[in-house]
Amino acid sequence: MPNAAITGWGVAVPDRVLTNQDLERMVETSDEWIVSRTGIRERRIVGANDSTTSLATDAARKAMEKAGCTADDVDLIVVATATPDDFLVSQSCLVQAEIGGSAAAFDVGAACAGFVTALAVATQFVNGGMYNRALVIGVDTLTRYIDYTDRGTCVLFGDGAGAVVIESSSEPRGLLSTELGADGAGHKHLYVPGWAQMVPESADIFPDSRPHLQMNGREVFRFAVQVMGDAALKSIEKAGLTLDQVDMLIPHQANARIISAAQRQLQLPEEKVWINVDRFGNTSAASVPIALAEAADAGVLKEGDNVVLVAFGAGLAWAAGLVRWGTDGTSPATPAS
């Protein structure tokens, strides 16, 4: 059975920077509170010329360039997002309209756990032999749904996209194990109330007021600390590995304190955990692929390294996976079945 090696990766974030000092002027908060409670110093926010499509497309093009392929070589596009640009058309089709090609294209919805979930889905298609090459994108523009008078949420989120290309490999590379889970009963701890009411019953027009994200921060924090470490441990175990064989942890970048808790549970030294929450805040589905791409570009991921990806978010849902890094043994492209 083939594996699905990660052969390309790319990142796109908006140019517009929102700092803690900017937020101090908008709501009753302080740089000291935000840094000590979350680790965040600044985040990127979509501007007039940015969209979920533009960010996803930019990241996808970079990933394909790194993998040395074009959209015509891609058999499948899976986009993980909670903030698509269209209600009816999948975000993956909107990306395909920009990059070209005729790959199968659909979206996966698992909020901040979306990218790891989408990678698991795409990997199944490659491992099963149905497709040779897939583009997996995590993208969100959640700041469009943030209430910038609510200090409990507006300091946390940023926008961005991260993408990877995975391709069939005869070597044990790519996602070797997956641990997915959900607790739908907790969905009201992090959701967008009023979203359903935005859907007109017949020909009614949409109301003017835009719905905003609401969160019970303490409950989500408690949930996150519990599932991050547990899910990561299970994915390591399922891959037949032990903790001392883990080379890098790429966690969802929601809060530095949540990441520290996972780091302690996995008994990893600081240098084995990639953290960029200080620069990007919580970019939802983009958080893990942005961190993964940064770690790869920084040269800290070596051929054969065992990399743990783990994320949690609205749903409440979580997803973890053990990735064996590297592209050695990647088979040449063959036509999709």
- Mark 99-138 with x for binding to ligand UT7 (rule: CB under 6 A) and - for no binding: -------------x--------------------------
Judged by CB under 6 A, the chain residues 271 through 290 that form the site for ligand UT7 are 282
Which residue, among 170, 118, 218, 216, has the nearest Cα to 324 in the 3D structure? 170
On whether the CB atoms of residues 106 and 153 are closer than 8 A, the answer is no
Question: Is residue 127 annotated as a catalytic residue, yes or no?
Answer: no
On whether the CB atoms of residues 299 and 141 are closer than 8 A, the answer is no
Does residue 181 interact with ligand UT7 by CB under 6 A?
no
Contacting range for ligand UT7; rule: CB under 6 A; set: 66-74, 80-88, 131-139, 220-228? 220-228
Which residue, among 56, 7, 17, 39, has the nearest Cα to 290 in the 3D structure? 56
Instruction: Work out how close the CB of 268 gets to ligand UT7 at its nearest, in angstroms, rounded to a whole number.
Output: 20
Residue nearest to ligand UT7 as judged by C-beta position: 217
- Mark 51-90 with x for binding to ligand UT7 (rule: CB under 6 A) and - for no binding: ----------------------------------------
Contacts of 238 (CB under 8 A, 6+ apart): 177, 178, 179, 322
SS3 335: coil
Amino acid at 240: G
**Interstrand relation of 17-19 and 42-44 (parallel, antiparallel or unpaired):** antiparallel
Q: DSSP per residue over 143-165, as a string?
A: GGG--TT-HHHHTTB--EEEEEE
Give the residue, chosen from 16, 31, 33, 85, that forms a contact with ligand UT7 under the rule CB under 6 A. 33
Question: Is residue 69 annotated as a catalytic residue, yes or no?
Answer: no
On whether the CB atoms of residues 321 and 175 are closer than 8 A, the answer is yes
Question: Is residue 112 annotated as a catalytic residue, yes or no?
Answer: yes
Does residue 211 interact with ligand UT7 by CB under 6 A?
no
Residue among 112, 154, 189, 255 flagged as catalytic:
112
Interface residue list for ligand UT7 (CB under 6 A):
29, 33-34, 37-38, 112, 151-152, 155, 190, 215, 217-218, 220-221, 224, 254-255, 282, 313
* Residues with catalytic roles: 112, 252, 282
